[in-house]
């Protein structure tokens, strides 16, 4: 089993965005359903992690700014 190519990853993302089933995407690409599922899980995990980091940094920045604001 070889890793997914960039073209396959793009096709998986497009299919997922259009609401295609894992089985239909796997049939189109000639891959096992588990391979498609693993690829989507990885992509969604990375996106979720980036979003959490972004929220954490925004919250941390707000907290830091509130510490150094001067009260009239």
pLDDT tens for 13-30 read 899 889 999 999 999 999
Higher pLDDT, 30 or 1: 30
The ranges assigned to domains in the chain are 6-68
Tokens of 59: 């919250």
Backbone angles phi, psi at 32, to 5 degrees: -75, 150
12 touches 25 (CB < 8 A): yes
What is the number of other CB atoms lying within 10 angstroms of the CB of residue 22? Answer: 19
Q: Is pLDDT above 80 for 39?
A: yes
């Amino acid at each position: 089993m070889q890793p997914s190519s960039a073209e396959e990853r793009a096709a998986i993302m497009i299919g997922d965005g259009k609401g295609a089933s894992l089985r239909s995407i796997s049939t189109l690409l000639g891959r096992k359903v588990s391979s498609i599922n693993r690829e989507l899980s990885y992509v969604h995990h990375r996106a979720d992690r980036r979003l959490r980091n972004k929220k954490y940094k925004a919250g941390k920045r707000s907290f830091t700014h509130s510490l150094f604001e001067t009260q009239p």
